Amino acid sequence: MLTEQDVDRSGAPVPPKDPLRGKRPQLKLAASLVAVTAMLAAAGATIAVPAAAGPALAGTLAGRVSAPRTPAAIAADSRSGATAYARHLLARLRLPGGSRRMHWKHVADLSPSLALILTDVVDPRALYHVPEPMTELGKYLQAHAPGGMTVSSTGWFSNRGKIRARTVTFSPRRLPAGIYSAMLVTTFKPTRNGAALLRADAQVAWFPSRGGAVRLRAADYASVTITRSRQDGRDKRSRTVSGARQVRKLVALYNRLHGAPDAVTTCPEDGPSTIEYRLAFHPARTAQKVVLAPTNCLTVGVTIGSHPEPDLYPASAVVAAARRVLR
């Protein structure tokens, strides 16, 4: 698990004291969803765990940027559905009274660390002028999470020991069907007049198509063989289930799997003791044999007949089902 990170672009140490440090428990994001941008990594940036949020501001800052009413949930595993949901999240951002949206432009130090999703992702963004100092704005954001969202992480960017920008990231409590991940990332820096500029990114990734891994009909399959063994072949266990109810449940599990998202993940290294599972669906009539092979990279390898199909997701669901059958 990674958290939002303090990035010192110069390699200088983090400032010894910060007004937002040590106020509340650290909150974390999945490693596959948060990473420092490649530009910062190439620049030799140093990484440290940041402090989390401070207390809420007084009621004098209470307010929000007006936004159009948007449906509370948008269920679609497509670019259009992800775009609609991302705009929905962006519209829910709450900012202090007097904040105004600006024409979009790139601003130095306002390039956030976003999820390493390679494809099937949208990132609507907006730029705001906020009439509050950077530190106070950070407190306000943490005290005014958008409806249906929580503060998932906080952090800052620094240069030669000086904090140049801060970041507060929100995550939805629940994701709509068809959405793999979603984050509302705010990155903000001070202006010369004591106000702040804030960039908001609503990054949403959707599940891609299942490709040739078509849905199955339970009636077309007579049995399912579940196998568990170590990679070196030891400790092999196998069981074949043929009851209509059990076969139907396993076919339904396969049909619920999503196309695997194109995301950067950290996979545990394979070794002789690595445990492997296989689920083989044996046809009763003219259907093709289907084999599922969960991997330690969160995806599921799929073979239909003798033809490998694009991976499905998540492997954890298939492994849990296999363990229930074999216990």
List the domain boundaries for the chain: 6-206, 218-326
CB 193 within 8 A of CB 134: no
CA 223 vs. chain centroid, Å, equals: 36
Distance CA(97)–CA(327), nearest Å, equals 58
Distance CA(183)–CA(172), nearest Å, equals 7
Q: Averaging pLDDT over each range in 29-43, 263-277, 281-295, which range is the top one?
A: 281-295
CB 77 within 8 A of CB 261: no
Chain position carrying tokens 């929000």: 64
User: What's this model's pTM, rounded to 2 decimal places?
Assistant: 0.71
Under the banding of pLDDT at 50, 70 and 90, the label for residue 114 is low
Higher pLDDT, 15 or 54: 15
Under the banding of pLDDT at 50, 70 and 90, the label for residue 54 is very low
The pLDDT, as a whole number, for residue 115 is 65
**Kind of pairing between the strands at 300-304 and 6-8:** unpaired
Chain position carrying tokens 């007097």: 98
pLDDT(148) > 50: yes
Which CATH code is given to the segment(s) 218-326? Answer: 3.30.1490
Mean pLDDT (whole number) for 173-196: 94
CA proximity to 163, closest of 57, 48, 58: 48
The pLDDT, as a whole number, for residue 286 is 86
Task: Return the minimum-mean-pLDDT range out of 50-64, 173-187, 192-206.
Answer: 50-64
